[in-house]
């Protein structure tokens, strides 16, 4: 006769009263100067519907016992497919009128990571970043080489025109016009239009983060922002938190924003909320960087921090929280 099974409930951070482990997901659809007075109610409703769809899709994966990695990849894929957001279809256009896409993903267990930059024909850059992490010994692949890998892996390809929308074409023309009529070399105002991203905590206690972008309108020279840079735009580590950033990429790269939040949590024992405040409201602001981050810690606490007018965002967790917002 076997001894009776001994049932031990180990106290986990954020665990619910019934012993269930917390679930949480947060998403963003970019941050920056969002002029409230210019936003028609139906456009606002449409943005919120897009955010809700991605948020709920990601959360339902967590609820079914899926991984945080699957949840963030799926939420970001939906935001890439939604032409309202600056990633995948609907991405902003380069000076030459093309879409040029970057993305990265990180698994807090491991940690493992995958990233792509300068992609023009892979329908979902986040799916390519995921495959680089899962199926190659590498972390980062760029340009045509990355697309060759994508083709070998059987990912879906689209012509570059798939990504382009009339709204982004107009936006590009306005940016080029502004540039011609402003100081030479000075970047046109309002050209930084963010990214999309997601962070999540699953039932197994694993954290994950994902970020995807078209970069900045009217960009040139193969410019790459923080979105595909592990440590800047994306970072996840089961020991601390998962972070996805959006904003003026150059500042986020120089400040190594996502890893800096992790480092403040791990080395200074700050809460993720305090670490995010320090990095976004103090350090980034001092450096002149606009934008924000979303983060989730091991207990499932969600942080949505930005130092500009608005950030398209959503948050949902197993404590019953569910909200989407812009300002």
Residue numbers of the site for a copy of itself (CB under 8 A)? 110-113, 117-118, 136-146, 148-149, 185, 187, 220-225, 229-232, 235, 249-250, 253-254, 256, 259-260, 263-264, 267-268
191 tagged catalytic: no
Please identify, using beta-carbon distances, which residue of 61 and 207 lies nearer to a copy of itself: 207
Q: Tell the smallest beta-carbon distance from residue 179 to a copy of itself (Å).
A: 12
Q: Tell the smallest beta-carbon distance from residue 258 to a copy of itself (Å).
A: 9
Please identify, using beta-carbon distances, which residue of 59 and 251 lies nearer to a copy of itself: 251
CB 266 within 8 A of CB 241: no
Q: Tell the smallest beta-carbon distance from residue 197 to a copy of itself (Å).
A: 18
Tokens of 275: 């670490």
Please identify, using beta-carbon distances, which residue of 113 and 302 lies nearer to a copy of itself: 113
Closest CA to 218 of 118, 93, 83, 119: 93
The rounded Cα 161 to chain-centroid distance in angstroms is 23
Residue 104: beta bridge partners? 115, 211
Q: Give how far Cα 63 sits from Cα of 10, 56, 67, 206, Å.
A: 21, 10, 10, 14
Q: Tell the smallest beta-carbon distance from residue 38 to a copy of itself (Å).
A: 26
* Sheet of 291-297, strands arranged across: 234-236, 241-247, 291-297, 302-306
Q: Is the peptide bond before 149 cis (omega within 30 degrees of 0)?
A: no
Q: Tell the smallest beta-carbon distance from residue 95 to a copy of itself (Å).
A: 10
- Cβ-count burial of 150 within 10 angstroms (0-12 exposed, 13-18 middle, 19+ buried)? buried
Spot the catalytic one: 191, 195, 234, 246: 195
Please identify, using beta-carbon distances, which residue of 185 and 320 lies nearer to a copy of itself: 185
- Which residues, including other chains, have CB under 8 Å from residue 216's CB and lie 6 or more apart? 92, 191, 192, 193, 223, 225, 249
Contacts of 52-56 spanning 24+ positions with Cβ under 8 A: 52/314, 52/324, 53/78, 53/82, 54/27, 54/29, 54/78, 54/79, 54/82, 54/196, 54/198, 54/314, 55/25, 55/27, 55/314, 55/315, 55/316, 55/322, 55/324, 56/316
Please identify, using beta-carbon distances, which residue of 117 and 208 lies nearer to a copy of itself: 117
> With left for phi above 0 and alpha for psi between -120 and 50, is residue 118 left, alpha or beta?
left
Please identify, using beta-carbon distances, which residue of 75 and 256 lies nearer to a copy of itself: 256
Please identify, using beta-carbon distances, which residue of 98 and 309 lies nearer to a copy of itself: 98
Q: Tell the smallest beta-carbon distance from residue 125 to a copy of itself (Å).
A: 14
Q: Give how far Cα 84 sits from Cα of 26, 131, 309, Å.
A: 18, 25, 18
Q: Tell the smallest beta-carbon distance from residue 325 to a copy of itself (Å).
A: 30
Active site residues: 195
């Amino acid at each position: 006769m076997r001894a009776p099974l001994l049932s031990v409930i180990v106290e986990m951070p954020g665990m619910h009263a019934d012993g269930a482990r917390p679930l949480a997901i947060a998403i963003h659809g970019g941050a920056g100067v969002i002029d409230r007075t210019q936003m028609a109610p139906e456009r606002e409703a449409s943005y919120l519907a897009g955010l809700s769809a991605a948020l709920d899709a990601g959360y339902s994966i967590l609820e079914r016992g899926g991984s945080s990695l699957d949840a963030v990849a799926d939420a970001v894929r939906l935001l890439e497919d939604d032409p309202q957001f600056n990633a995948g279809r609907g991405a902003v256009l380069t000076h030459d009128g093309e879409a040029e896409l970057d993305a990265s993903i990180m698994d807090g267990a491991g940690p493992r990571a995958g990233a792509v930059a300068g992609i023009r024909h892979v329908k979902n850059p986040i799916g390519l970043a995921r495959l680089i992490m899962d199926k190659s010994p590498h972390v980062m692949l760029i340009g045509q080489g990355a697309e060759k890998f994508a083709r070998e892996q059987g990912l879906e390809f689209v012509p570059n025109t798939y990504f382009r929308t009339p709204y982004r074409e107009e936006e590009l023309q306005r940016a080029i016009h502004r540039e011609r009529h402003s100081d030479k070399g000075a970047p046109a105002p309002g050209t930084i239009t963010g990214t999309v991203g997601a962070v999540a905590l699953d039932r197994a206690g694993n954290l994950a983060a994902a970020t995807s972008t078209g970069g900045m309108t009217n960009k040139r020279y193969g410019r790459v922002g923080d979105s595909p840079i592990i440590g800047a735009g994306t970072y996840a580590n089961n020991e601390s938190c998962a972070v996805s950033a959006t904003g003026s990429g150059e500042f986020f790269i120089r400040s190594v924003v996502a890893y800096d939040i992790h480092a403040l949590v791990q080395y200074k024992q700050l809460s993720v909320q305090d670490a995010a405040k320090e990095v976004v409201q103090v350090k980034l602001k001092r450096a002149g960087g606009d934008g924000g981050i979303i983060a989730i810690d091991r207990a499932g606490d969600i942080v949505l921090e930005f130092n500009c007018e608005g950030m398209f965002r959503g948050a949902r967790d197993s404590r019953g929280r569910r909200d989407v917002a812009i300002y």
